[in-house]
Amino acid sequence: MKNKVLIIGAGFVGATSAYAIMNRGLASEIVLVDIDEKKAEGEMMDLNHGATFVKPVRISTGDYEDCRDASIVIIAAGANQEPGESRLDLAEKNTAIFKKIVPQIVDYTKDAILLVVTNPVDILTAVTRKISTLPANKVMGSGTVLDTSRFRYLLSLHCKINPKNIHAYVLGEHGDHEVVAWSLTSIAGVPFRDYCVLCGRGHNSRDFMDEISGKVRNSAYEIIEKKGATYYAVGLAVARIVESIFRDENTILTVSTVLEGQYGLKGLALSLPAIVGHGGAEKILDLKLSEEEEKELVESGEILKGILQGLKI
């Protein structure tokens, strides 16, 4: 697998993803493509000037032709959320952009893994799969990889534990209907509820869980309200997915993929824990959730399905 990444959309998210990928030494080549060629060129120059501080990487601007030998094509192009605007409000605007972008990618490659980051990421993952006609494992969205990190971070503050030692997942839509899967949360192999009893900090009440879930769900709105956009953490999330693909890690990540019957859901994309390696999202884990979580997940899927049907792709 050639370690070449093409990034379409060199805005806040695309450029920060390039920076995170470069900084972690994951790619030998990164190509930036943007309708705003001047912006792509500026980002390319700025990134290249860090060449002496990172592992060798060729960074250039380019066009869809450069997809030909890319192993991963990241799509971060499109409109961003305005303050107060939900991710789903962006569906029509960004679907129109994807109808132009995706056919140009598959004109040049059917081998690359397509990684969608543009919001609403689940809708656009399904749109990309449909337009590209690539197999389900080759089209994924960054999904709730970022939300899962936010959740683990918040728990780490309360439990005073390294977030890497906290196993937890946010599932479903990357957005207002996401499902914080408390039933799958564990620390040191101990279910979260039992861990809380053990450590005696009394953080397993319903109120505490609702407060944390709310903070996870609303953090993007808060950041957008304060600084206009979110990009550092999502850039790192994108780099983590790229790393798992290039290194064939088989890491479990909550990427968004088009479902094929899991929890009775089909033909729409949302996040479930998936094993990510060279083949992309190689296996989706259909884990047992609590009754309430499964109900929320199915509702999240039905909402996404309704939006997809309204888009007429």
- Smallest gap from Cβ 212 to ligand NAD, in A, equals 19
Cα 138 from Cα 126, distance rounded (Å): 12
User: Is 74 a binder of ligand NAD (CB under 6 A)?
Assistant: no
Closest to 75 (Cα-Cα) out of 17, 131, 29, 24: 17
Q: Is the CA virtual torsion 244, 18, 5, 136 positive or negative?
A: positive
User: Is 119 a binder of ligand NAD (CB under 6 A)?
Assistant: yes
Closest to 271 (Cα-Cα) out of 178, 156, 188, 199: 178
Would you say 18 or 187 has its CB closer to ligand NAD?
A: 18
Residues contacting residue 143 through CB under 8 Å, at least 6 positions apart? 121, 122, 125, 174, 254, 255, 256, 257, 270, 271
- Smallest gap from Cβ 97 to ligand NAD, in A, equals 5
Interface with ligand NAD: number of residues (CB under 6 A): 33
State the catalytic residue, choosing from 174, 177, 203, 278.
174
- Smallest gap from Cβ 211 to ligand NAD, in A, equals 22
Closest to 263 (Cα-Cα) out of 191, 186, 171, 192: 171
Neighbours of 197 (CB within 10 A): 12
Do 269 and 125 form a contact (C-beta atoms < 8 A)? yes
User: Is 117 a binder of ligand NAD (CB under 6 A)?
Assistant: yes
Q: What one-letter code names the amino acid at 69?
A: D
User: Is 229 a binder of ligand NAD (CB under 6 A)?
Assistant: yes
Residues contacting residue 141 through CB under 8 Å, at least 6 positions apart? 115, 116, 117, 121, 122, 124, 125, 174, 255, 256, 257, 269, 271
- Clarify whether 174 is annotated catalytic: yes
Would you say 27 or 170 has its CB closer to ligand NAD?
A: 170
Stretch that binds ligand NAD, among 19-27, 33-41, 48-56, 277-285 (CB under 6 A): 33-41
x/- track of binding to ligand NAD for residues 248-287 (CB under 6 A): ----------------------------------------
Closest to 76 (Cα-Cα) out of 139, 141, 26: 141
Return the residue of 72, 97, 268, 272 that touches ligand NAD, per CB under 6 A.
97
Stretch that binds ligand NAD, among 35-43, 44-52, 125-133, 195-203 (CB under 6 A): 35-43
User: Is 12 a binder of ligand NAD (CB under 6 A)?
Assistant: yes
- Smallest gap from Cβ 235 to ligand NAD, in A, equals 9
User: Is 99 a binder of ligand NAD (CB under 6 A)?
Assistant: no
Q: Is 151 helix (H, G, I), strand (E, B) or coil?
A: helix
**Residue 190 in tokens:** 């101990």
Would you say 12 or 221 has its CB closer to ligand NAD?
A: 12
User: Is 91 a binder of ligand NAD (CB under 6 A)?
Assistant: no
| Burial class, 167, CB count within 10 angstroms (exposed 0-12 / middle 13-18 / buried 19+) | middle
- Smallest gap from Cβ 87 to ligand NAD, in A, equals 6
Would you say 34 or 293 has its CB closer to ligand NAD?
A: 34
- Smallest gap from Cβ 206 to ligand NAD, in A, equals 28
- Smallest gap from Cβ 201 to ligand NAD, in A, equals 30
Q: Is 252 helix (H, G, I), strand (E, B) or coil?
A: strand
The binding site for ligand NAD (CB under 6 A) comprises: 8-14, 34-36, 39, 76-81, 90, 94, 97, 100-101, 117-119, 121, 142, 146, 174, 229-231, 234
Catalytic residues: 174
